[in-house]
Chain A
Amino acid sequence: MTSIPMEYYLVLSGFMFSVGIVGVLIRRNAIVVFMSIELMLNSANLTLVTFSSYLGNVTGQVFVFFVMTVAAAEAAVGLAIIIAIFRNKLTVDIDKINIFKW
């Protein structure tokens, strides 16, 4: 473990975070958008674990467990909502879901 410097993990997690954000911004399919959001959360998890390990402080790891639970709940709720909207509109294309505007 000692051989890999902390920066590697951080760069990876930053990269994951950016991919997540870009995914949220440009993908049209609601499910892919949710996957991108998961990516964002997981990049944060990676950061937390990294810091936890390098600081020798257990708080970060505990936090990660909580985040994982939350992410699971979020995915459940998100999928339920997507199903609801699919039943109503027969599409999950975010561009087309815009009755409310202006």
Chain B
Amino acid sequence: MINFIYLTILLPLIGFLINGLFGSKIKNEKVIGIIGSAAVGLAFLVSLGAFFQTLGLPVEQRSNTVELFTWLNVAGLNIKFGYLVDQLSLVMSLIVTGVGFLIHVYSIGYMHGDKGYWRFFSYLNLFIFTMMNLVLGDNFLVLFLGWEGVGLCSYLLIGFWYDKRFEKGTVAQAAKKAFIVNRIGDFGFLLGMFLIYSTFDSLNFSEVFSKVQHFPVSETTFSLIAIFLFIGATGKSAQIPLYVWLPDAMAGPTPVSALIHAATMVTAGVYMVSRASIIFASAPAVMTIVAIIGLLTALFAATMGLVQNDIKKVLAYSTISQLGYMFLAAGVGAFSASIFHVMTHAFFKALLFLGAGSVIHAMHEQQDIQNYGGLKKYMPVTYLTFLTAALAISGFPGFSGFFSKDEILWYAFSNGNFIFWFIGVFTALLTAFYMFRLVSLTFYGEERFKHTQQHASEGRGEFENVPHPHESPKVMTVPLIILGILSVIGGFIGIPALFSGEGGNNFESWLEPIFKPAEEKLAYTGMYTHAQEILLMTISVAVALAGIYAAYYIYTKKPDIAGTMAKKFKGIYTLLFNKYYVDEFYEAAVVQPIQKGAEKILWKFTDTFIIDGIVNGAAKLIDKISGTIRKMQTGVAQFYAVIMMVGIAAVLLWLILGI
């Protein structure tokens, strides 16, 4: 199957073409949905086949390159369109196609009746196509192609309901924000790529990485490359300072948030950093920066998540926070832990989003959790799966998130220091708290929706808006259940050596060949005992349980506490609620000056005065000249002949004078 890996890329492309070109003509929604889902489902099967084939190979043969064709061959730059099938890319492609397939199936139900149904599925397939290029590409340029492609798809899908309003602006504005902020990151990535090419004279992964190990290149160069690449990663993976687009990206349909803004695209930055692990390992200073940025993002996003009232916003901040964990792991050199968390996070966060989608669906597009409550009895499947995911993300023992997060925290302690670990654990506390605040407000307690909704409808006499909460159809709940199962058992493939004994961490040993060079370079010596590991683990479990219970207690048992607390700590509450005013700060410090400057200097002076002056002047001159030249075309054949003779005579004259 390895040789057929291109099918995983080709199939979604075919799906995209079919739905994109003929979708508007296909009247049957089911056909469109099945084409879209089948393309991804088959791609998943191919990836699975390739995975098992690779598993059967001896360790040293597990990295295979499938070259399709030479893409560019201009003046020394030779780029082949090749796909790298190795342990890392297989994990990523299984996540992308597997979770992607479930979300496609879910969308069949969720998008039912939407006027852009075919458009939605064609975009989703295009996304999978570009994402697969990103994770499978065997050189930086193909990766970048996918990188830009997913950015485009993200833009298209955030703005899917382009004619709707979103918060203070429109959906289209949210989409634009995501695109522009991503562009800043992409610029960094591009610079990093140029630097790689100028340093190593190649963009191919294997060539570059082997040269990294053997070329005498200064640490400054490595640091520059790594920092540029990391800037790219902060854009795509929503890290400080470029995280601001992700909450706004929630303007898109919920399956999109699940697929792109939780499970796959946003982890592209983590993938890229892991893929280039050897470059990062050669620049220890940048590694520390990565870890600190990750940690800070995790902490701040978690605090912002505490007070949000939009169900998707809470999940968005939670995503940012979890991505922060992944970068923390990468920053302390625990790349496989980072990828492990990418995987478990894909399961439970996709599940959370899909569950939220199911709730939103039931509540008629109502997204404010203050208007939910007591939904447990109306939608049992959604409730149970959502609870599973919440437990998983909170790090409840035995659930997938427990293993992955705990591994990260352990490495933060053993490779980093106590402060990393402490902030990480504190963030875990916050995570557990806001997640169960969400669960409590949504599924437990009294039903707040009837009250508010009836109130509204009495005033306007609209009765159709009264929600009748109901369980979603099977096509939506089955993916929920599958993801629920994965959220529980997904962690067992990465059980730490502590529990599994002799065999060690399966997931880690699977990825080990990829990260070995980086780890050797970093040469961390874990001089800690199992006892310490158990101690730390116990603490984090206790913290998670505390967070869960506190949330449950405050929001279900004693709902009034929440209000009093909010009043008591009004300052902090407002600060958090307004997300530290970062958006406002960016607006005042970056957007406005640029806009003003652009208007005054670039537009009024440079553009209008200088450039327009030159361009218009040149245009006028050319107009004059051409007006004269075309007069030569008199329409009389003999005149043409005369000019021809004059031409010949001129050449003769030149010959006479020249020779």
Contact = CB atoms under 8 A, between A and B. Distances in A.
Please indicate whether A and B come from the same complex rather than being unrelated chains.
yes
Interface string B635-659: 1111001100100000000000000
Chain B binding surface SS class? helix
B630 interface: yes
B642 A98 contact: no
B631 A25 contact: no
Contact of B635 (A21, A26, A33, A99): A99
B167 to A, nearest CB: 59
A97 interface: yes
Interface string A79-102: 000000000000000110111111
B73 interface: no
A24 B631 contact: no
A24 B638 contact: yes
Contacts of A98: 634-636
Nearest to B630: A102
Interface of B: 630-631, 633-638, 641-642, 645
Nearest to A26: B638
Contact of B637 (A26, A97, A99, A102): A97
Nearest to A21: B645
Nearest to A33: B638
A58 B44 CA distance: 77
29 contacts: A21-B645, A24-B638, A24-B641, A25-B638, A25-B641, A25-B642, A25-B645, A26-B638, A28-B638, A33-B638, A94-B636, A94-B637, A94-B638, A95-B636, A95-B638, A97-B636, A97-B637, A98-B634, A98-B635, A98-B636, A99-B635, A100-B635, A101-B633, A101-B634, A101-B635, A102-B630, A102-B631, A102-B633, A102-B635
A21 B634 CA distance: 20
Contacts of B638: 24-26, 28, 33, 94-95
A101 B637 CA distance: 10
Nearest to A98: B635
A28 B637 CA distance: 10
Nearest to B642: A25
Contacts of B630: 102
A77 to B, nearest CB: 16
Contacts of B645: 21, 25
A40 B285 CA distance: 84
A94 B634 CA distance: 12
B30 to A, nearest CB: 60
Contacts of A94: 636-638
The 8 nearest A-B residue pairs measured at CB: A101-B635, A98-B635, A102-B630, A102-B633, A98-B636, A100-B635, A101-B633, A25-B642
Contacts of A28: 638
Interface in A15-40: 21, 24-26, 28, 33
Given A28-B638, A95-B638, 11 more contacts: A24-B638, A24-B641, A25-B641, A94-B636, A95-B636, A98-B636, A99-B635, A100-B635, A102-B630, A102-B633, A102-B635
Contacts of B641: 24-25
A68 B625 CA distance: 45
A25 B646 CA distance: 11
Task: Give the size category of A's interface with B.
Answer: 10 to 19
Nearest to A97: B637
A102 B630 CA distance: 5
A3 B390 CA distance: 116
A100 B634 CA distance: 8
Contacts of A99: 635
Interface string A35-47: 0000000000000
B554 to A, nearest CB: 85
A80 B454 CA distance: 91
A24 B637 CA distance: 10
A15 to B, nearest CB: 17
B646 to A, nearest CB: 10
B648 to A, nearest CB: 10
Contacts of A95: 636, 638
Contacts of B634: 98, 101
A98 B635 CA distance: 5
Nearest to A95: B636
Which of B633, B636, B645 has the most chain A CB atoms closer than 10 A to its own CB? B636
Contacts of B642: 25
A84 B471 CA distance: 83
Interface string A52-73: 0000000000000000000000
A98 B637 CA distance: 8
B626 to A, nearest CB: 11
Nearest to A24: B641
A97 B638 CA distance: 11
Contacts of A24: 638, 641
A25 B642 CA distance: 6
A79 to B, nearest CB: 16
Contacts of B633: 101-102
Nearest to B636: A98
B366 to A, nearest CB: 68
A99 B637 CA distance: 11
A52 B645 CA distance: 28
Contacts of B637: 94, 97
Nearest to A100: B635
Contacts of B631: 102
A41 to B, nearest CB: 15
A102 B636 CA distance: 11
Contacts of A101: 633-635
A100 B635 CA distance: 5
A102 B637 CA distance: 13
A22 to B, nearest CB: 10
A62 to B, nearest CB: 28
Nearest to A30: B637
A24 B644 CA distance: 12
Contacts of A33: 638
Nearest to B632: A102
A25 B637 CA distance: 9
A102 B639 CA distance: 13
A98 B645 CA distance: 20
Contacts of A26: 638
B242 to A, nearest CB: 57
A21 B648 CA distance: 13
B336 to A, nearest CB: 73
Contacts of A97: 636-637
B641 to A, nearest CB: 6
B23 to A, nearest CB: 48
A63 B635 CA distance: 35
